[in-house]
Structure 1
Amino acid sequence: MKLFRIVHPLNGVQRLLLTVWVGAMWAIGYVAAPVLFAAIESRMQAGAIAGTLFSIVSWIGLLCGGLILLVQWRARHRGLSRVALSCIIAMLIITGVGQFGLQPMMADIKAQFPAGVEMSGELRSRFGALHGISSTLFLIASMLGALAVWRSAPTDL
């Protein structure tokens, strides 16, 4: 039985980057956002703050995911299982779709209403549909992140 094993330092870097990304997703998506909506009376104000936090998490994800792929390339595809790497690639795609596809469409709809005025009619329905898609994609990405963290753990503990 080995008490210590030699691990390439880049393996730890990859796991740390993944943990930062997934931890940010879970902290904002499942702790901060619900607290905002519970604590702030104005749903529009809570939504605006939550939207900013989700955008920050997206940028963290794009940065961490990109760095993970760079480390994978540099380490000649060692350090992460295929499952973990597949999850990370899927998470990057989902994050990109959300940040560069869905979020700009949602921002365009919000921009059509003056501050403090609630949305109504077709635009409210369209915003709700986009928000639902965005929320579902976030849920999928956060579950993929949990699986990636799980599958990136050292196997000989």
Structure 2
Amino acid sequence: MALALWWGSLSAIAGFVVPMLFAHLPTPAMAGNLAGRLFGAQTWVSLACGGLVLLVMRSNADNPSVRWSFSAIGLVAISMLAALLVEFGVAPRILAREDLKLWHTVGSALYALQWLCTGLLLWRAARQPQA
């Protein structure tokens, strides 16, 4: 469930909510400000979901029917790191209006990396037999 919430929230924010903000708010500055807040909130959702996924992986470590590999743990770690980098590395530079095109591109790439990693984790988890 945590994986589905994580991937679904990433998808909803980037795929629907933020484009709707830019389409319906009076100015791009207002939309960008609100989008930044939503992406910040998404960071904390990502960290909470990632932490929960790691806890579930650990609690199921002795169950032979649930096969979480080191690569799955790595995907969770990469996704959580990407979220932290966007929040604390990229977002401050965007707010400071430093080289906006570069930092929007870096932020988008990190967000896409997080989305791909969590999607792959969700797909792998859905393929595992249930105990």
After TM superposition, is the score higher than 0.5?
yes
Question: Shorter chain as normaliser: what TM range?
Answer: 0.7 to 0.9
For the aligned residue pairs, the C-alpha RMSD in angstroms reads 2.0
| Counterpart AA for 2:128 | T
CA distance in 1, matches of 2:29, 2:62: 44
Structure 2: gaps (5+ residues): none
Q: Percent identity?
A: 28
| 2:41 aligned to which of 56, 70, 81 | 56
Once the two structures are superposed, residues 41-82 of structure 1 have per-residue CA deviations (whole angstroms, 9 ceiling, x without a partner) of 300101111111111111000111012212322333754533
CA distance in 1, matches of 2:4, 2:68: 15
Structure 1: gaps (5+ residues): 1-15, 111-122
Q: Which residue of 2 aligns with 1:4?
A: none
Give the paired residue count: 127
Q: Is the 8 A contact 1:87 1:144 kept in 2?
A: yes
CA distance in 1, matches of 2:28, 2:101: 14
**Is the aligned partner of 1:42 residue 2:27?**
yes
CA distance in 1, matches of 2:117, 2:56: 20
Structure 1 counterpart SS, 2:128: coil
Q: Is the 8 A contact 1:18 1:64 kept in 2?
A: yes
TM-score w.r.t. structure 2 length? 0.84
| Counterpart AA for 1:102 | V
| Counterpart AA for 2:88 | F
Q: Is the 8 A contact 2:57 2:68 kept in 1?
A: no
**Is the aligned partner of 1:140 residue 2:125?**
no
CA distance in 1, matches of 2:30, 2:53: 34
